[in-house]
Each structure stands twice: as structure tokens, then as C-alpha cells.
Amino acid sequence: MSAHEIPVPIKQQYFTPGVKVVFAVFLAGAVGVAYRFLYGLGAVTNLDNGYGWGIWIAIDVSCGVALAAGGFTTAAIAEIFHKEKYHVITRPALLTAMLGYTFVGFGVMIDIGRWYNIWHPMLPDMWQGNSALFEVGICVMTYVTVLYFEFFPIVIERFKSRVNLPAIIAVLNKPIDGILHIADKVLRKIGWVFIIAGVVLSFAHQSSLGTLMVLVPTKMHPLWYTHLSPLLFLISAIAVGFPMVVFESILASRSFKLKPEVPILASLARYTPFLLGLYLALKIGDLTIREVWPYVFEFSTESWLFMAELVLGVIVPMIILSIRKYRRTVGGLFTGATLVIGGVVLNRIDVFLVAYKPLYQTKAYFPSIWEILVTAGCISALILLYRAFVMIFPVISQPEDEVAGRMDDTSVKANFSKAR
Amino acid sequence: MSLGRRDFLGLAAASSVTLLAGKSLANEQQLPKECKDACAVLVDTAVCIGCRKCEWACNRQHNLSNQDMAAFDDKTIFKIQRRPDDKAYTVVNEFRDPSNPEKPYYTKVQCMHCLDPACVSACIVGALEKLPNGPVVYDAWKCIGCRYCIVACPFQIPAYEYDNALTPQVRKCTFCTERNLAEGNVPACVEACPNEALTFGTRDDLIGLAHARIKAYPDRYVDHVYGEHEVGGTSWMYLAPADFKNTELPELPPDRIPPNTENIQHAVFKWFVPPLALYGLLGLIMASKPDKENEQEAEK
Ligand code: SF4
Ligand code: SF4
């Protein structure tokens, strides 16, 4: 990295052909959501009294939480362990986490039957400390709030001294600006509270997500039923944090035609093989202690999926990312990161859907077209919002000289002059 | 079923007078009339004649859509195995012992009202609760509809009103707790059973009764009181003429289910010590001098 990099809003056209496709998927998903709220879960999902949970829990919620782990892992390395050079990637990771968790909350809303009661776990007289789901719920709610606080300084940075409301409400410019200045000062002082809280809360709910299915000993496939599950969920979430940052960063630079930050990303990806190795060791130990190796080699659907999780999702990326030659190329980094992410997604689907065997259902659950559309729609909405946010707020870092160069002509300058 | 009821009940020696009055065997047997502690029901599948009057009574009790009593005589319904759902909290199914396939027997299924219920442990807001006198009850007002209870129940009992868009509820047998069991009332199904296949009483007494029946008629029952030990014990228990494997009742270990997760939860969050310790540790690391190690070198 030669030039110093600073985060700036990206000035490009919002709609490209690719974005239009994403938008179309989003619209289809929105129809599905409307359909669900008007006609109920029975009309849109393939759930029944045997399969209480489907892909909205397995993917939207549980994968959503795992893949938003980039937020707390980068915050930890850059802010808590003071590896300053990673500051350039904390903001995109924070944005993904913030949007990701917002959609996790939204996904829960869609899935639960009495969505208007979603706030009930916050009422002390309904606290249910025995329930792992309560633990997940309360931590996720708190963490979303923490993420908003963590992101707020970026909003302040964008608007401080530039508040420019139109026409009549322009009189509010000064007071709002004043508030932003005070908020800025306060948040600078107490920001660390939120950063550490974010990490602790993440540890708590990432692991508790793994506890959920431990309550179902008699209906789970032995390959995935283990009391180690919370630890495995936690370690895999930590392990997928950096690959997720790598994945997004490469995609974003591709989409905005920026130079990918290969050295920083490669440096971040160095940690991944160690975390994957730890995960693999725990998995192997667990299989051995529980004496369930025979299930791995019974060549059933379950055993193939299990092997795919471990070989493609853990061992292969562990090898790719530990070889420096591959790690320092965009292709190697991207492949490695994608495999890790795929492995974690597959693992969550396996734990919540594949391993779960109801007693009386003769047909295995498969999501309905609406369930799939809603899930795809949520992911699309997340992508669209991410794109909008990085265009409005200073999230993605670019070399300082380039930014300065552009200030002469583009709207960046206009913005500045308006502010003065 | 050719066996006389009186032969069967042995130690029970029921008087038919009280039967007509709809009183349960439990009462006649000097089981405490008021079982404030641990009400239970013993289902004797060897006595059950599959008349499904319990279904009728349950539907009526809970204002579920019902049919004429006569419609319940229809035996063709046994061709398919039904499950309790949001529209019927209890159903009777027909089973056959492979070694004696001529003679069908019947099993009524409903919520087992486990002693340490997985559904209660699961519920995120405490909408499900095990009452001290036995029933596991549901409070729709608290429920958020997450359906973790459905995932958790080892008997696959809680049923969801998937068709209700706005106010779906979790539906299952209530043990007729609304009939005020403490005041000497019995559940509607127990009251309706014409053949005394259902016996209401305290759990201890019913376990004694069950074993006494097995002992008295070893050739009529398998030596297994289903629910005595399954998942730590249930308030509804069963006797059967053949292995329970023939029925829809699942084979379950004697271990209680909730400790699986509750032990983890309580260890990790004990008085918030572990999270606070983690917070403190991270705070210390953060406050310590910034790491000057030049990592860029490593990767260059
Ligand atoms: S049978 Fe299922 S629903 Fe009934 S108490 Fe037990 S766990 Fe709960
Ligand atoms: S669906 Fe309702 S009763 Fe069941 S666990 Fe969720 S909140 Fe509790």
C-alpha cells in the first residue's frame, strides 16, 4: 500500500445492469413478504407441525448472523488489538454487520407468527433464562443497537458541518449540526464501550445459536448432535469473519472498478488457516469422542453433506490460504474466502434442516418457491442497501491522491462548497 | 375385545355405578380426590376399544369443530395414522402387534405433559409453563410464534395454526386445566371414556396401579409403563399389550431433555461472570499500548 487511504463516499451510477437484476429479485421477495403477512405462514411456506423451522431460520437468521461476523472480528483486530492497518476494512465490515443484523431482525419478524410480539423478550417478566433462543434474541437485539451506535460516527462524519436541509426546514441546519458535533465528541470518548460490547455480545449469541439444536437430542442426526455445538458455532463464526470481509471487499472493488486491497486482505487471510485448523481439530476430536465416524462413511446424503462441509469448506480453503503464493492473488483469496463461507452456510443448513428429523413426516422439508424468493429478496435488499450506503457515506477507502484529484470536478467538491 | 373389564382391572375393582356418573376409576380407588400435586393419567391401550369418545369430548371441551357422536363410530378412519393438530388435540390410532395381527389395539395420543418439558425449556418468553399440579399450559398472549417448542418437543405434539395470518396460536392438549382439576374434576376425555381405559389420579398412585396390573396379568401386558421413565417421566402414561415399538409412541431415553442446553446456558452465563470477564479482558487489551509490530512487513 503506497498512498495513504481515506474513506470517501463512492460517486458512481447506482443502477447498472447487474443492480437491476438484483432489484428485480428484491421486488419478487417483497411480493412474497406481503403475501406472507396477508395470508400467513401456511400459505407461503412448506412448514408443518413436524418441521417447525425452515430456511428463514436456517439461512436468513442463522447464516445471516454467522456471515455478519466480519463486523466484530475486524473491530476486535483493528480497535482492540490495535492493528491499525486494518482500519481501512473496519468500515465496510461494520456496514455489512449493521445491515446483516438488521435483516436478521427482519427475517425473524417474517418467520414468527406473532411478529407484533417480537419485543416480548425484552420484558423482564417474560425473561426465560433457560431458553437458548431467549439468549440469542436478547443479544441480537442489543447487538443491533450497538452496531447502530458504532456506525453513527460515520453518519456524523458525513454530515458534520454540512447539514443542508432544503427550504423551510433549513432553519434546523444549525441546531442539528450542533447536536452532531456534541454526539461526535461523546461517541469519540465512549466508542470503546460499544466496540468491546459488540465483541462480547457476538461471542454470546454466536455460541447460543449453536446451543439451539442441542435441545433436540432425539430428533438430530448423530453427525451434528453434539454438546460442543455452541463452541463449534462460535469458532466457525470467528473463522468466517475475515473471509467474509475478503469476499465483500473483492466483490465491491470489482463492482466499483476499484483496485482490490490485496496486501491488506492477504494479511487478514493469514489468520484464517489457524482458525479453520482449530475448528477442524475440534470437529475431529468431537467425532472421535462420540464415536460417530461410521456415520461419516456411510455414504448417505447426510454423510456426503458432512464431508463437503469439512473438505470443501474447511480443509481446501485452509490449504489455499496457507500458501502465500495463492493468498496474495485476487483469485486465490477469493476462492479461499468463498469456500469458507460456503462451508459455514452449508453447516448451518445441515444443523437446522438436514440433521433435524421429525418423527412422523414421510417427506423431507423442502422450501417453497415463496420461501426461496423471500430469502433471495432479503439478500438482494441487503446488497442494494450496501450499495446505497457506500455511495452516501464514507465507508470504502480510496487512495488520498485520487480522492483529492476528483475533488476538482465532481460532486464531492459541490458538497464541500455547499457546506461552506 | 373379549376380556371383561372387571377381570382386567383386578385391583381396581370398579363399581359400574360411579362409571355411569362419569367418575374416574381413580376416585373409586381411594386415590386422593384432589391431586394438587402431579395429576396424571394412565392410558390402558389394552382396554381401549377405539370408540373415539375421548376425541368427541375433547373437541366439545375446547370448542373445536366437532361431529355428531355417531360419526365417531366410523372405523375406516383408522386406515391412516392421524396426528393431533391445531384442530384436534387428541386422536386415537389403531395398531397391530405383528405377532398377533388379528387383534388390533388402540392408542390415544395427546401432549404427554412431561415432568421436565422440553417445550417449556425452549420457549423464548415463558409462554409455556408446567404447573405444579401437572398440566403444561400455554399463554397465547405472551407467545411470539417462534415455534421453537415445536422443534423441541420429543413427542412432536405442539401444533401451529399455520393458516391463521394474524393471531396464530400453538395448540395442544391442556390437560383440561380449565376444568379445575384441583377441585375433583377430571379431564373431559377421562370422563367420556366408557371403558375406563383412562384413569386419572396422582402420578405415584397410577404408577403403582400400572405395575399392579402388569403383575396381575403378565400375559396381557408388556412389562413397560410408557412414560414412567421416558425423558425423565411424563404425566400421561401408557400400558400396552405389545411392545410400544408397534405404536406411534417414540422410543425415548430416560434422560430429561432440558439439561442438555440448560447446563450450557447456566455455565456460560452464570451471574454474568464469563461475559463480564471477557469484557474486562478485552478492555485491558484495548487499553494497553497499541501494538507497534509492523505487520505489513510480514506480508510484503
Ligand atoms: S409432550 Fe411435548 S408439548 Fe407436551 S409437555 Fe412434553 S414436550 Fe411439551
Ligand atoms: S411458539 Fe410461542 S409457545 Fe412456542 S416457543 Fe415460541 S413463543 Fe413459546
Protein residues whose CB sits closer than 6 Å to any atom of ligand 2: B 122-125, 127-128, 138, 143-149, 170
Distance of residue A73 Cα from the nearest chain B Cα, in angstroms: 13
Q: Which residue has the cell 400467513?
A: A40
The nearest alpha carbon in chain B to A267 belongs to B299
Question: Does some domain include residue A155?
Answer: yes
Distance of residue A24 Cα from the nearest chain B Cα, in angstroms: 26
Structural domains in chain A (count): 1
Tens-place pLDDT, residues A28-55: 999 999 999 999 999 999 999 999 999 9
For ligand 2, atom 7, the nearest C-alpha belongs to: B143
| Residue B17 pLDDT | 32
Tens-place pLDDT, residues B53-97: 999 999 999 999 988 888 888 889 999 999 999 999 999 999 998
Give me the CATH number covering residue A247: 1.20.1630.10
ipTM score: 0.91
Distance of residue B125 Cα from the nearest chain A Cα, in angstroms: 5
Mean predicted lDDT score pLDDT of chain A: 91
Distance of residue B255 Cα from the nearest chain A Cα, in angstroms: 10
Task: Judge: A38–B165 Cβ closer than 8 Å, yes or no.
Answer: yes
For residue A112, what are the domain limits? Answer: 5-390
Distance of residue A296 Cα from the nearest chain B Cα, in angstroms: 24
Whether the Cβ atoms of residue B291 and residue A82 lie closer than 8 Å to each other: yes
| Residue A405 pLDDT | 54
Q: Which of ligand 2's atoms lies nearest the C-alpha of B139?
A: 3
How many CB pairs lie under 8 A apart between chains A and B? Answer: 204
What are the φ and ψ backbone dihedral angles of A11, each rounded to 5 degrees? -100, 95
Higher pLDDT, B21 or B218: B218
| Residue A243 pLDDT | 97
Confidence band, pLDDT 50/70/90 cuts, at residue B37? low
Task: Judge: B121–A130 Cβ closer than 8 Å, yes or no.
Answer: yes
The CATH class, in words, for B34-255 is: alpha beta
The nearest alpha carbon in chain B to A227 belongs to B260
SS (H, E, C) chain A: CCCCEEECCCCCCCCCHHHHHHHHHHHHHHHHHHHHHHHCHHHHCCCCCCCCCCHHHHHHHHHHHHHCCHHHHHHHHHHHCCCHHHHHHHHHHHHHHHHHHHHHHHHHHHHCCCHHHCCHHHCHHHCCCCCHHHHHHHHHHHHHHHHHHHHHHHHHHHHCCCCCCCHHHHHHHHHHHHHHHHHHHHHHHHHHHHHHHHHHHHHHHHHHHHHHHHHCHHHECCCCCCCCHHHHHHHHHHHHHHHHHHHHHHHHHHHHCCCCCHHHHHHHHCHHHHHHHHHHHHHHHHHHHCCCHHHHCCCCHHHHHHHHHHHHHHHHHHHHHHCHHHHCCHHHHHHHHHHHHHHHHHHHHHHHHHCECCCCCCCCCCCCHHHHHHHHHHHHHHHHHHHHHHHHCCCCEEEHHHHHHHCCCCHHHHHHHHHC
| Residue B136 pLDDT | 96
Question: Does some domain include residue A34?
Answer: yes
Tens-place pLDDT, residues B118-163: 999 999 999 999 998 899 999 999 999 999 999 999 999 999 999 9
Tens-place pLDDT, residues B232-290: 999 999 999 999 999 999 999 999 999 999 988 888 877 778 888 899 999 999 988 66
Task: Judge: B296–A137 Cβ closer than 8 Å, yes or no.
Answer: no
% of chain A surpassing 90 pLDDT: 79
Interface of A with B in 39-68 (CB under 8 A): 39-43, 45, 47-50, 52-53
Average pLDDT over residues A15-38: 96
CA of B125 to the centre of ligand 2 (A): 7
Q: Does A207 touch chain B (CB under 8 A)?
A: yes
**Site to substitute for ligand 1 among B39, B108, B109, B155, most atoms within 8 A of C-beta:** B155
pTM given for the model = 0.89
Q: Does A217 touch chain B (CB under 8 A)?
A: yes
Q: Does B279 touch chain A (CB under 8 A)?
A: yes
Output the nine-digit C-alpha cell for B46.
389394552
| Residue A415 pLDDT | 44
Q: Does B159 touch chain A (CB under 8 A)?
A: yes
Ligand in nearest proximity to the CA of B150: 2
Question: Does some domain include residue A408?
Answer: no
Ligand in nearest proximity to the CA of B258: 1
For ligand 2, atom 8, the nearest C-alpha belongs to: B123
Q: Does B83 touch chain A (CB under 8 A)?
A: yes
Question: Does some domain include residue A112?
Answer: yes
Report whether pLDDT(A397) > 70: yes
Task: Judge: B257–A47 Cβ closer than 8 Å, yes or no.
Answer: no
Tens-place pLDDT, residues B190-233: 999 999 999 999 999 999 999 999 999 999 999 999 999 999 99
Interface of B with A in 166-185 (CB under 8 A): 166-168
| Residue A404 pLDDT | 59
